[in-house]
Amino acid sequence: MRTITINTATPLPPQAAILVIYTGGTLGMGYNAQGVLSPLDFERIQERIPELNRFDYEITVIAFDKPLDSSNIVPNHWLILAEIIERNYEKFDGFVILHGTDTMAYTASALSFLFENLAKPVILTGAQLPIGQARNDARTNFVTALEIAGSRNGEGKALVPEVCIYFDYFLWRGNRSRKVESRHFDAFSSQNYPHLAEVGIDIQYNFSAIMPLPAQAFRVHTKMENSVGLVKIFPGMPEIFLEKALLENDLQAIVLETYGSGNAPTHEYFLKTLEKAILQGKILLNISQCYGGMVMQGKYETSKSLADMGVVSGKDITTEAAVTKLMFLLGQNLPKTETEKLLAISLRGEMS
């Protein structure tokens, strides 16, 4: 990894020190001499983004040696990001992670669970169009993420002490966010939780929605277990598929994406397959396929049987947060009953 320091506050003391971690993604691309998009040289970032010189910040950039397409992100990358932030936590006031959009919500969710008692902003951002294009969203997303990461109250405390996604004028809680657009700039949204800030002429913070500052010391967890499956229920699902997905593997947990408020088929083969999976020791988590609303097991007959057999209700958790929360909890090597108990409650504001 390469480290570059940009002191935009010279000759004055910086108002904030921000660590930028460039993992890859569209934002950090520019045209080279041959007219081909290639990773940006962050040593010349001020030439590309002269707005940086307006900040009274000291900005340090750590860039992955080989930028990652976010489709190739795996849990080990989340642990690397967590380790970088842990190592630099006391040196910086805030952190900005430049990341591809496709799995940004997974990374934001994973980091939210790995960071316990976070007291500083960790802002993920990216772009739909690269900074090397004349018309792009990269510049404003990056600059605004930096401003939010460096913003503090009159006591010098962070305004947003949590893992967030900033994109297209809105700041979202990371573990409540989903990518909802591939062609427009408003790529992220959160149907079940309000935005943390809206950016216009001013930045309007929604303080009632923002996590309070923690009373305990910052702690970074260092283990995840990816023995997790994801099954989306659909009409006419073949029995053989369900059996292979739930029974014929060594997975420790499976996320079930069900209909509406947590409803699923009541066919005998379906319910018996779920029961067998639970008897094998697997944890089953029920989440909704809908972007808005929540699982309410027992509201209808089609979900009551799931609750009765021990399927855990994910309430209004997103798919991204459900998968990464399970990976986090399984990594702690807790008893199954304790894992299921923690799965059903909010740990980092990921569910109501």
CA distances from 93 to 19, 256, 285, 290, 339 (A): 8, 39, 37, 37, 33
Token output for 263: 């409803």
Q: Is 38 annotated as a binding residue?
A: no
Here the contacts of 176-179 (C-beta below 8 Å, separation 24 or greater) are 176/318, 176/321, 176/349, 176/350, 177/104, 177/105, 177/108, 177/318, 177/320, 178/105, 178/291, 178/318, 178/319, 178/320, 179/101, 179/102, 179/104, 179/105
pLDDT in tens, 170-198: 999 999 999 999 999 999 999 999 999 99
CA 90 to chain centre: 23
pLDDT > 90 in the chain, percent: 78
Q: Is 71 annotated as a binding residue?
A: no
On the question of pLDDT at 239 being above 60, the answer is yes
Instruction: Give me the domains of the chain, ranges plus CATH numbers.
Output: 2-220 (3.40.50.1170), 228-344 (3.40.50.40)
pLDDT value at residue 20: 95
48 versus 85: which is more confidently predicted?
85
On the question of pLDDT at 221 being above 70, the answer is yes
Q: What gap in Å lies between CA 64 and CA 25, rounded to an integer?
A: 11
Backbone angles phi, psi at 274, to 5 degrees: -65, -40
pLDDT value at residue 174: 99
Are 21 and 65 in contact by the 8 Å Cβ rule? The answer is no
Computed on alpha carbons and rounded to an integer, the radius of gyration of the chain in Å comes to 21
pTM, two decimals, is: 0.94
Spot the catalytic one: 8, 23, 26, 339.
Answer: 26
Lowest-confidence region among 57-66, 109-118, 180-189, 306-315: 57-66
Spot the catalytic one: 8, 23, 60, 101.
Answer: 101
Are 287 and 255 in contact by the 8 Å Cβ rule? The answer is yes
Are 145 and 20 in contact by the 8 Å Cβ rule? The answer is no
Q: Is 319 annotated as a binding residue?
A: no
On the question of pLDDT at 255 being above 80, the answer is yes
Q: Does the annotation count 101 as an active-site position? A: yes
